[in-house]
């Protein structure tokens, strides 16, 4: 079974997009748009508007991200062994430097950004509206997967988590799923997820008869 993990606030301890906006963007615009998320603005509209207030050069922001964005406990070891697909509404330009810092090479599906001096312009990977939630969403990134385990935390994970075969959630995503009576497992860090998955990944992706009995538990 494929393993799909969100980046900001899931693989990272704190949402890196929010950290960058608070450090380099306009706090008033940020707070106003966060308030309107899921009400009268879509996630893409919110991200685009918030990042238009960032005017710093990309290399300056990348250096700050490399120095300040911390990964959640257990993630690096988990990612090395289980090779999750990372699906993010963040940007390649700000995620790859952190992966590189940790020596991780993972497949990443994310948006891109053009760091223009008059305000950053977000280039979204997929603008097509999802048939379930009616907005562009992460569900399109997993459309080719027959079954997947999803690990996430936030607003951008709501719709895709509902498509997951097995779901690990924390923070806002956990509240959302609980409010809709959708089954999920709560996690604090990646040691929890790793323990819960056990040998699942091996068992589901290969013929069970070929697995050494010591692993069949």
Does residue 123 interact with Zn ion by CB under 5 A?
no
* Shortest separation between residue 138's beta carbon and Zn ion, angstroms: 7
Would the CA dihedral through 2, 69, 22, 63 be positive or negative? negative
For residues 181 and 134, give the distance between their C-alpha atoms in angstroms, rounded to a whole number. 21
Residues 143-172 close enough to bind Zn ion by CB under 5 A = 159
**Residue 133: CB minimum distance to Zn ion, A:** 3
Query: For Zn ion, how many residues bind (rule: CB under 5 A)?
Result: 6
In what helix (H) or strand (E) does residue 60 lie, and over which residues does it extend?
helix 58-68
Q: Which of 137, 167, 177, 197 binds Zn ion (CB under 5 A)?
A: 137
Q: Nearer to Zn ion by C-beta: 10 or 193?
A: 10
Give me the residues paired with residue 185 across strands. Answer: 168
Query: Binding to Zn ion by residue 130, rule CB under 5 A?
Result: yes
Told to check if 133 binds Zn ion by CB under 5 A, we report: yes
Can you tell me which of 33, 44, 72, 139 binds Zn ion, judged by CB under 5 A? 139
Residue corresponding to tokens 């939630």:
133
Find the shortest distance in angstroms from Cβ 166 to Zn ion: 19
How is the beta sheet containing 2-5 ordered, strand by strand? 121-123, 108-114, 85-91, 2-5, 148-152, 166-169, 185-186
Task: Report the alpha-carbon distance of residue 35 to residue 33 in Å, rounded.
Answer: 5
> Which one of 41-49, 82-90, 115-123, 130-138 is the stretch in contact with Zn ion (CB under 5 A)?
130-138
> Which residues make up the interface to Zn ion (CB under 5 A)?
130, 132-133, 137, 139, 159
């Amino acid at each position: 079974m494929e393993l799909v993990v969100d980046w900001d606030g899931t693989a990272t301890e704190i949402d890196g997009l929010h950290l960058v906006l608070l450090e380099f963007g306009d706090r008033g615009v940020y707070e106003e748009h966060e308030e309107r998320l899921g009400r009268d603005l879509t996630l893409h509209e919110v991200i685009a508007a918030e990042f238009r207030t960032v005017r710093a050069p990309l290399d300056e922001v990348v250096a700050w991200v490399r120095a300040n964005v911390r990964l959640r406990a257990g993630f690096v070891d988990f990612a090395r062994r289980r090779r999750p697909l990372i699906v993010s509404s963040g940007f390649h330009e700000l995620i790859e430097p952190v992966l590189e810092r940790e020596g991780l090479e993972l497949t990443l599906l994310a948006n891109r950004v053009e760091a223009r001096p008059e305000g950053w312009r977000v280039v979204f990977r997929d603008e097509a509206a999802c048939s379930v939630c009616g907005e562009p969403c992460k569900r399109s990134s997993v459309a080719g997967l027959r079954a997947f385990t999803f690990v996430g935390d936030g607003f951008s994970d709501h719709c895709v988590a509902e498509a997951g075969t097995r779901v690990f959630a924390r923070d806002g995503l956990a509240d959302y799923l609980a409010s809709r009576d959708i089954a999920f497992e709560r996690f604090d860090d990646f040691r929890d997820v790793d323990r819960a998955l056990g040998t699942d990944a091996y068992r589901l992706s290969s013929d069970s008869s070929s697995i050494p009995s010591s692993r069949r538990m």
